[in-house]
Amino acid sequence: MEVEERLQDVVSRIQAAERSAKRTKGAVELVAVSKTFDAEAIRPAISAGQRVFGENRVQEAQAKWPEMKGETPDLVLHLIGPLQSNKAAEAVALFDVIETVDREKIARALAAEMQKQGRKPKLYVQVNTGLEPQKAGIAPEETVAFVDLCRRELGLTVEGLMCIPPVEENPGPHFALLAKLAAACKLEKLSMGMSGDFETAIQFGATSVRVGSAIFGTR
Ligand SMILES: *Cc1c(COP(=O)(O)O)cnc(C)c1O
């Protein structure tokens, strides 16, 4: 199958999941995760109408997206990988949504850069719902206080929460936990669900799903 067909298939599955979860049509946004794929592999998805893409590395995104953004100005680029504070300037300059805010140092660096550049990417807080030591994200029990700090102390607008459940576990409880934390923070956006579990995530209230291999193939 070609990228266009796989993209259409994912879009249809999202719509079907919206219906079966009694969600509003169009309630769930598709973030097409294009990490490791080059412009040549990505362009067919843009031609087919996809506008929202996710990348996990700042440098890789910097190398391939400015040209495509030039060709198609309404592209929306999400950073979905861990961010170091020494990359905050590049991230603020390139991305429209940064999904991986997970500690005070990075929140402060982003706040300073947003001020300096006059650019305001939307921000999500990443939660390490499985408390995995190797994984980025704030601990669930610290999430409410951290979102509060971002808002009150740093003047940041947080749009929502994001999580990546442990690969070997049933993702449902992790999605439910993220939804509960978002409600506690009065946040409406939930970035959760990948190629293997996006339909489950939609049942649990995902407002965006990050789908890579089901569209672009195995990495
Ligand atoms: C790679 C990646 C995805 C997409 O994963 P697939 O299983 O290929 O759909 C989603 N979210 C994050 C944070 C990723 O790094």
Mean pLDDT over 168-194 rounds to 98
Q: Is the pLDDT of residue 61 over 90?
A: yes
* CB-count burial class (<10 Å; 0-12, 13-18, 19+) for 210: buried
Mean pLDDT over 80-89 rounds to 96
Ligand 1 centroid to Cα of residue 35, in Å, is 8
Q: From the CB of residue 164, how many other CB atoms can be counted at a distance below 10 Å? A: 23
| C-beta 164 within 6 A of ligand 1 | yes
> Are 76 and 97 within 8 A, CB to CB?
yes
Q: For the segment 130-169, what is each residue's pLDDT rounded down to a tens digit?
A: 999 999 999 999 999 999 999 999 999 999 999 999 999 9
Q: pLDDT > 90: what percent of the chain?
A: 100
> Model confidence at 1, in pLDDT bands (50, 70, 90)?
confident
CA distance 181 to 176: 9
Q: Is the pLDDT of residue 51 over 90?
A: yes
Ligand 1 atom with the shortest distance to the CA of 213:
8
> Model confidence at 189, in pLDDT bands (50, 70, 90)?
very high
Q: From the CB of residue 47, how many other CB atoms can be counted at a distance below 10 Å? A: 11
Site to probe by mutation for ligand 1, drawn from 13, 29, 56 as the one with most ligand atoms within 8 Å of Cβ, is 56
Q: For the segment 100-120, what is each residue's pLDDT rounded down to a tens digit?
A: 999 999 999 999 999 999 999
Mean pLDDT over 20-36 rounds to 97
Query: At 191, phi and psi to the nearest 5?
Result: -95, 105
| C-beta 6 within 6 A of ligand 1 | no
Whole-number pLDDT of residue 134 = 95
Q: Which residues contact 167 (CB under 8 A, 6 or more apart)?
A: none
Identify the DSSP state of 138.
B
Q: Average pLDDT, whole number, for the chain?
A: 97
